[in-house]
């Protein structure tokens, strides 16, 4: 048992080192990474299509790397924007790691890239524990997923530096309760900004681009309480499940694992 825990910690620690190196290298050349994570089908690619399009029209040099277990569907969609796009197939792995990202950027990422959007594998568990050298981590939730997702996936939402609600064009139809969602976000990540978006109407697309550019300009992103406690983006242990089996991670002092019989 201890050995398994040690192995997980070692994998995470190795990733933290790779992420720190990547962040330093990319920041030095003027590239800011935006890591997008959400459950499958929340609308990451659709929103990214709109972001890339807007960035291109505004003359901002952007690129996108999208990760999936299988298919090149997302890269084909994103590629229509005309900006550099790369598909990464993770070979069964449910998340990206910093070293993988590093390898894929080598010789591909254009030198002048200001923003690199990374669409993580659709999953609210595994990707949450892996820093990709990003300077802005965005957790997305669509209005159809239920207002309780921040509470059920406290690591993903608790470590986000920005929370994005997607598909707001259908919020009314699915009776999305924005106030409850915001209250739930506040519980796991006090002070984080929540941006309402719709890839269909274009709502919030400009806001997300502006937030990313602001971080690229050197304005500090939100520091989540979870991260400030020494549990993310700073080389320390996340205290989370870092395996590939998809168990929700639990944060030692805020969300102890609970087994209950109902």
Question: How would DSSP label each residue in 32-71?
Answer: EEEEEE-STTSSHHHHHHHHHHHHHHTT--EEEEEEESS-
CB of 208 to ligand GTP, least distance (A): 12
Instruction: Tell me the residue number closest to Mg ion, measured at CB.
Output: 45
b/e sequence 188-224, b meaning 16+ C-beta within 10 Å: bbeebebbbbbbeeebbbeebbebbbebbeeeebbeb
Q: Is residue 257 close enough to count as binding ligand GTP by CB under 6 A?
A: no
Query: Do residues 225 and 152 make contact, with C-beta atoms less than 8 angstroms apart?
Result: no
Q: Does 87 bind ligand GTP (CB under 6 A)?
A: no
* Token pair of 179 as six digits: 């106030």
Cα atoms in the Cβ-side hemisphere of radius 13 Å centred on 47: 32
What is the pattern of x (binds Mg ion, CB under 5 A) and - over residues 56-85? ------------------x-----------
Select the binding partner of residue 35 from ligand GTP, Mg ion, none (C-beta < 5 to 8 A, by kind). none
74 counts as binding ligand GTP under rule CB under 6 A: yes
Q: Which of 35, 45, 90, 232 binds Mg ion (CB under 5 A)?
A: 45
Per-residue binding letters, 6-45, with ligand GTP (x by CB under 6 A) = --------------------------------x-xxxxxx
Strands 115-119 and 85-89: unpaired
Judged by the rule CB under 6 A, the positions of this chain that interact with ligand GTP are 38, 40-46, 74, 122, 166-167, 169-170, 198-200
């Amino acid at each position: 048992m201890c050995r398994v825990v040690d192995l997980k910690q070692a994998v995470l620690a190795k990733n933290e080192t790779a992420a720190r190196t990547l962040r330093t290298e990319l920041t030095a050349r003027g590239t800011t990474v935006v890591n997008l994570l959400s459950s499958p089908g929340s609308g990451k690619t659709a929103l990214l299509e709109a972001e890339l399009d807007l960035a291109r029209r505004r003359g901002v040099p952007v690129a996108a790397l999208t990760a999936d277990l299988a298919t090149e569907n997302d890269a084909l969609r994103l590629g229509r924007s005309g900006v550099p796009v790369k598909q990464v197939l993770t070979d069964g792995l449910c998340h990206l790691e910093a070293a993988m990202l590093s390898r894929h950027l080598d010789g591909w990422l254009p030198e002048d890239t200001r923003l690199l959007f990374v669409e993580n594998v659709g999953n609210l568990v595994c990707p949450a524990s892996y820093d990709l050298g990003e300077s802005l981590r965005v957790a997305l939730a669509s209005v159809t997923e239920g207002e309780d997702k921040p509470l059920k996936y406290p690591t993903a939402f608790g470590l986000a530096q920005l929370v994005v609600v997607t598909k707001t064009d259908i919020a009314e139809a699915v009776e999305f309760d924005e106030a409850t969602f915001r209250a739930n976000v506040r519980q796991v990540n006090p002070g984080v900004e929540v941006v309402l978006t719709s890839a269909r109407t274009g709502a919030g697309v400009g806001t997300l681009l502006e937030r990313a550019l602001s971080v690229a300009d050197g304005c500090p992103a939100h520091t989540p309480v979870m991260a400030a406690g020494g549990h993310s983006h700073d080389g320390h242990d996340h205290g989370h499940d870092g395996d590939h089996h998809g168990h929700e991670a639990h944060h030692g002092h805020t969300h102890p694992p609970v087994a209950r019989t109902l």
